[in-house]
Amino acid sequence: MPDLMARALLPLLILLALQQLGSAGLIKAKAGLAPLMLAKAWEQSLASEGRPVKPWPWADTWPVAKLQVPSMGISQFVLAGDTGNALAFGPGHNLASAALGAAGPAMIGGHRDTHFQFLQHLRKGQRIVLQLPDGFLRHYRVKQMTVDTASGDMLWPNVGEQLLLVTCYPFDAFVTGGSERFVVTAEPESLPLQTLDALGGEPQRILL
Model confidence over 30-46: pLDDT tens digits?
A: 556 899 999 999 999 99
Q: What is the pLDDT of residue 7?
A: 53
For the four alpha carbons of 148, 151, 153 and 154, in that order, the dihedral sign comes to: negative
Q: Higher pLDDT residue, 177 or 198?
A: 177
Average pLDDT over every residue of 46-62: 94
- 3-state DSSP call for residue 104? coil
Residues 184 and 126: their CA atoms lie apart, in Å, by: 11
Q: Higher pLDDT residue, 174 or 4?
A: 174
Q: Is the pLDDT of residue 55 over 50?
A: yes
Q: What is the pLDDT of residue 33?
A: 87
Average pLDDT over every residue of 14-23: 45
Q: Give the least confident one: 43-52, 105-114, 147-156.
A: 147-156
Alpha-carbon 111 to chain mean position: 7
pLDDT tens column, 75-130: 999 999 999 889 999 999 999 999 999 999 999 999 999 999 999 999 999 999 99
Q: Is the pLDDT of residue 188 over 90?
A: yes
Q: What is the pLDDT of residue 156?
A: 59
Q: Say yes or no: domain 1-208 is CATH 3.90.870.10.
A: no
Q: What is the pLDDT of residue 192?
A: 46
Q: What is the pLDDT of residue 26?
A: 36
pLDDT tens column, 163-184: 999 999 999 887 777 789 999 9
**63 — pLDDT class (breaks 50, 70, 90):** very high
**146 — pLDDT class (breaks 50, 70, 90):** very high
For the residues of 144-200, what is the DSSP string, one character each? Answer: EEEEEE-SSEEEE---S-EEEEEEEE-TT-SSSS-SEEEEEEEEESSSPPPPHHHHT
Q: Higher pLDDT residue, 54 or 153?
A: 54
**198 — pLDDT class (breaks 50, 70, 90):** very low
Q: Is the pLDDT of residue 9 over 70?
A: no
Name the helix (H) or strand (E) containing 63: strand 63-69
Q: Is the pLDDT of residue 15 over 80?
A: no
